[in-house]
Structure 1
Amino acid sequence: MPTPPSTSTAVNEGEKDPPHAPATPTFLDVLEPDEHPQHLPTWRKWLIVIVISASSLCVTCASSLAAFAENGVSTEFHVGHTVSVLSISLFVEGLGLGPLIVGPLSEVYGRNPIYRISYGLFFAFTWPVAFAPNIATFLIFRFITGFCGSAFLSVAGGSISDLFSDSTVTNPMAFYTISPFLGPVVGPFIAGFINQHLNWRWTYYLVIIWSFGQFIALFFLVPETYVPVLQKAKARRFQLAGDVGEQKTQNDGIGVLRAIIVSCYTPFKLLLLDRMALLLDIWTSLILGILYLAFQAYPIIFQGGHGFNLQDTGLGFLGIGVGMVLGLLTQPYWNRFYKRTSVENGGVLPPEARLYMGQVGAICVPVGLFWLAFTTYPAVPWIVPVLASVPFGCGIYFVFTSTFTYLVTTYRPIAASAMAANSAMRSTFAAVFPLFAGAMYAKLGTVGATALLAGLTTLMAPLPFVFTRIGPRLRRQSRFAV
């Protein structure tokens, strides 16, 4: 990702650096301690993390809220069930494509303008969804709102790394990481109650109310944290831009266009030329696809097999959420493990150490799915399949936390592109899987269909074990890895 143009300027007119020498740093190149975001009070930094995480939770919650509004959409707009499922698929696809654009923009204009504009648009474009007169308007704006809300899946991690040093970033990053995955679980829980008692449009009225509250919180509680942008703001305050300001603005515009072009093709170049990144992205994409497929499978399992109503079916997703929270509670253990491993390696933590958490997740996910598969019979008490989703949810947290951290540390020079590639692929899987869920469960039954998904995750389970052993060799051979 290109860095913003330097704000260094010669202090004394006429003093110029020698040809090909680095620019002489000035007091503008270094922020004073009280100006640096990492020197904010701890309570203020955590308040920022909570607001950003809640905003991310709202966006991803909006993706799955639609699952329990599908019957109302089908009835009012006179369309088939598959068409109504597109309300999830298009939103999630927007979430996957948005980072290709907003990521580079945040590197030039800073985090705050991206947050405020994207969330303002997310709030504004949810109105046409809630008051859609026809299915075309409804689906088009579902995609647009997903695209606008994607900033909190690509930029938010950068804000947290801006606020915390390498030694203190683990806990806030873990807190943020769980929010995009907890959101899809919270969505059915909320939407089940709404659609059981109210018109389906209230699903989206809630999103309007919630997103407005988050927009206000972002506007007043989240400051700019990107250091290069803070440096440029400092230069403007001291009126040192002068005649160079117009040229820098022009260069910024060219830099943004170039950054967007690079951001669009580099992730796919990485997927095509680096099999390590490709396999890990397929693994996480498969798991996220299964999570979104559950929004179609759970009603089949619990409404069809156990006679649940909408709100009871929504409560069934709490097992996945409990599993994710349990995974988050193990973070102190992993922090100690990483610290011990770093000491054993001379103060350097190998990227492969992050995959030990992924190994635990690789076991938990298929165990939970096989448990769920063979307890979906109506004769089995409903609590048993709900409990089966606890290891599945815990495994999701372990897999994604370890994989994300591994990708960022392994492909550090192009970390943004590595995450964009993962985002684009996993969002595509999450968009497609719900579309064939109904047909698959009708053809194979609840046991066969769920066991098939469990078998696929079992086939992918050796990946973290293999990469833990041969990762250093693969990194040496890679064109992109450090």
Structure 2
Amino acid sequence: MFSRSETNTLHDAADIEKAGQAPVQPKSELQEEIDDRNPYLCTLNPEDDPKNLPLWRKWAAVLTISSASLCATCTSSMAAFTETGLVQDLHTSHEVAILSVSLYVIGLGIGPLFVGPLSELYGRNIIYRTSYVLFFAFTWPTAFPPDIATYLVFRFITGLCGAAFLSVAGGSVSDLFDNQNVATPMAVYTISPFIGPIVGPLIAGFIVQNADWRWCYRTLLIWQFVQTCFLFLTVPETYVPVILKRKAKKLRKTDNPKWRAPIEQQSHNLARMILYSIYTPFRLLLLDRMALALDIWSALLLGILYLAFQAFPIIFMDVHGFNVQDTGLSFLGIGLGMFISLATQPLWNRLFRETAKQHGGHLPPETRLLMGQVGAVLAPLGLFIMAFTTYKQVHWIGPIIGSIPFGSGTIFIYTAVFTYLVTAYRPIAASAMAANSAVRSSFAAGFPLFAGQMYHKLGTVGATALLAGLMTAMAPLPFVLYRIGARLRASSQFAVA
């Protein structure tokens, strides 16, 4: 799990998703002696190794997994553009309609606490297929809702179902490619859940402008159906313990009933695994100030990103007179900024390799925070530009230009926080990421609920400047942790010294 080279940020992105699995240790002499005494213990042969699949098949699996993740996060933001239709057709208030985004995001946040342990027992494929079939099935009540209560309940359930592709999928990518070749496919997967919330308004804007709002969800149904077919056709099982378990089961039928897989010799208690998956993250938040500070920083950022789904219609529709379709296009600035930051990844990889050489091949976790330092400057800078260009007399391109550095800063901050948590909290990396997910989801769910009142009370300039000020207040965090992080890790009961 954690034997990935620390000289590549994208390698550690794979570790984020694989966190929580037992580390693969070199065999001791005692273990080799046990294996000799047990000749019926299944081992991984070259023909069984998912890394030896044809390149086209591995890339087909990566693209399918990435598009599934894109769909899951795109579904979260598309709902923001259907709120007016919900209010009119389901006879509810705008504040209740906003819950369509909040409840879905909460489902995305808590889902990994359950699907993570399940994937360790039953493999990745059954989780993908089951979750996406349910994702498809439970989207129907949101496309044809009889009332607002039914709609909101199933928005939460679909969020739970879509969470598998944010907690398990990265592990499949690293299962398919070795360390030397994983960077590019991992980059393709890594960008997909970040681009998803930006793609949602682009699609929904065109649909709502030209058709009934329900077609947003009908379009999702078509996408999910095609996606489910591709999941069954192109994504093989890549989790090695489950591959060996299937191999042992086949050999017991055709060869000898004594054959066993390593995972079958371990005792697993699913209830205990899920309880541990829920309990440990919150214990980390309560007892480790460094993890809590990083989680609040990344949560504030995601809260602002989801608040934008309420703020952009106010800025561009109310102030600049955009229609729904053009308002959806206004999110292109954030997406462009995200792609620009992703394009700098080779430069960061080179810096990390050189730094690792200076430390005897070991990259200090605090080095990862250098990306966070850049993001800590760019994100509030972009928000301040947006704030002071939202006047009606300023051309509408001003806030879109400001959203570009905000989008770049978002990717830099998340990459820094995620990889730092994984490398600094390796023994409980899965719990560290689960804690981060829980805090982020709570902020992302809560911020849209007060966005309208805040923008109408403070105005577009004051409200956006307030958000910029909050990000500015958190900006010193990566600089401080870069200097004292090693000392804090040494005194932490969770982090590695």
Equivalent position to 1:435, from 440, 449, 452: 449
The separation in 2 between residues aligned to 1:190 and 1:449, in whole angstroms, is: 27
Is 1:145 the counterpart of 2:145? The answer is no
Match of 1:449 in 2: 463
Shift of 1:181: 1.1
2:94 paired with 1:81? yes
CA separation of 1:355 and 1:18: change in aligned 2, threshold 3 A: closer
Matching residue's letter, 1:425: V
Moved more, 157-166 or 358-367: 157-166
Find 1:126's aligned residue among 139, 147, 152.
139
Measured in 2, the distance between the counterparts of 1:18 and 1:162 equals 28
The residue identity in structure 2 corresponding to 1:350 is P
Q: What CA distance in whole angstroms lies between the structure 1 residues aligned with 2:30 and 2:370?
A: 50
Pairing partner for 2:64 from 51, 55, 64: 51
- Letter paired with 2:81: F
Contact 2:20 2:431 in 1 (8 A): no
Distance 1:267 1:2 in 2: 12
- For residues 273-301 of structure 1, what are the alpha-carbon distances to aligned partners after superposition, in whole Å with 9 as ceiling and x for unaligned? 11111111111100000000000000000
Residues 264 and 22 from structure 1, CA distance in 2 versus in 1: closer, same or farther, beyond 3 angstroms?
farther
1:109-124 alignment, distance < 5 Å: 109-124=122-137
| 1:170 Cα deviation after fit | 3.2
The answer on whether the counterparts of 1:2 and 1:255 sit within 8 Å (CA) in structure 2 is no
2:397 equivalent among 364, 383, 393? 383
Give the 3 Å change call, closer, same or farther, for CA 453–255 of structure 1 in structure 2: same
Length, aligned pairs only: 470
Q: Kindly state the Cα deviation for residue 212 of structure 1 after the two structures are TM-superposed.
A: 0.9
In structure 2, distance between residues paired with 1:26 and 1:166:
30
Structure 2 CA distance for partners of 1:138 and 1:347, relative to 1, 3 Å: same
**Contact 1:355-1:406 at 8 Å conserved across structures:** yes
Alignment partner, residue 327 of structure 1: 341
What residue is the counterpart of 2:369 in the other structure?
Answer: 355
Report SS of the residue matched to 1:35.
Answer: coil
Provide the residue aligned with 1:9 in structure 2: none
Shift of 1:211: 0.8
Give the drift of 1:2: 6.8
Q: Please name the residue that 1:11 is paired with.
A: none
Q: Provide the rounded CA distance (Å) in 2 between the counterparts of 1:241 and 1:133.
A: 56
- 3-state SS of the aligned residue for 2:334? helix
Q: TM-score, normalised by structure 1?
A: 0.93
Q: 1:48 to 1:26 in 2, by over 3 A?
A: farther
Listed as ranges, the matches of 1:261-280 within 5 Å are: 261-280=275-294
Tell me how far apart the structure 2 counterparts of residues 26 and 249 of structure 1 sit (CA, whole Å): 15
Partner of residue 149, structure 2: 136
Are 2:231 and 1:224 equivalent residues in the alignment? no
Deviations 1:363-416 (A, max 9, x none): 110000000000000100001111110000011111111211111122122111
- What displacement does 1:255 show? 2.0
Match of 2:211 in 1: 198
Q: 2:6: which partner in 1?
A: none
**Residue in 1 aligned with 2:419?**
405
CA offset at residue 22 of structure 1? 5.9
Taking only the aligned residue pairs, the percentage that are identical comes to 62
Superposed CA offset, 1:218-270 (max 9, x none): 1111111111111111211211894898xx88976x52221111001111111
Q: Which residue of 1 is the match for residue 433 of structure 2?
A: 419
- 1:186 aligns to 2:204 (yes or no): no
Q: Secondary structure at the match of 2:394?
A: coil
- Which runs of 5 or more residues in structure 2 are unaligned? 1-18
Structure 1 match to 2:247: 234
CA contact (8 A) 1:177 1:401 kept: no
Q: Name the residue aligned to 1:290.
A: 304
User: Quick one: distance in 2 between partners of 1:308 and 1:422?
Assistant: 36
Distance 1:388 1:2 in 2: 39
Query: Which of 263-272 and 22-31 deviates more?
Result: 22-31
CA shift for structure 1 position 432: 0.3
Q: Give the conservation status (yes or no) of the 8 Å contact 2:288–2:492.
A: yes
1:5-16 residue pairs with structure 2 within 5 A? none
Pairwise CA distance, 1:37? 1.8
DSSP-derived class of the 1:238 partner: helix
Q: Residue 323 of structure 1 aligns to which amino acid in structure 2?
A: G
Cα drift, residue 38 of structure 1: 2.2
Q: Give runs of ≥4 in structure 1 deviating > 4 Å.
A: 1-4, 21-29, 240-245, 248-252
Partner amino acid for 2:415?
T
The residue that corresponds to 1:464 in the other structure is 478
1:30 offset after TM fit, Å?
A: 3.0
Q: TM-score, normalised on structure 2?
A: 0.90
Structure 1 residues without counterparts, runs of 5 or longer: 7-16
Contact 1:171 1:331 in 2 (8 A): no
Please tell me whether the aligned partners of residues 108 and 159 of structure 2 are also in contact (alpha carbons under 8 angstroms).
yes
Provide the rounded CA distance (Å) in 1 between the counterparts of 2:259 and 2:274.
24
Which residue matches 2:16? none
Distance in 2 of aligned mates of 1:433 and 1:112:
34
Measure, in 2, the Cα distance between the counterparts of 1:2 and 1:294: 33
Q: Is structure 2 residue 320 aligned with structure 1 residue 306?
A: yes
Cα distance in 2 between the residues matched to 1:281 and 1:2: 19
2:75 to 62, 71, 76: 62
Contact 1:280/1:403 (8 A) holds in 2: yes
**Partner residue of 2:9?**
none
Which of 355, 367, 380 is the equivalent residue of 1:366? Answer: 380
Query: Which deviates further from its counterpart, 470-479 or 102-111?
Result: 470-479
Contact 2:134 2:161 in 1 (8 A): yes
Structure 2 CA distance for partners of 1:167 and 1:473, relative to 1, 3 Å? farther
| C-alpha distance 26-364 of structure 1, shift in aligned 2 (>3 A) | farther
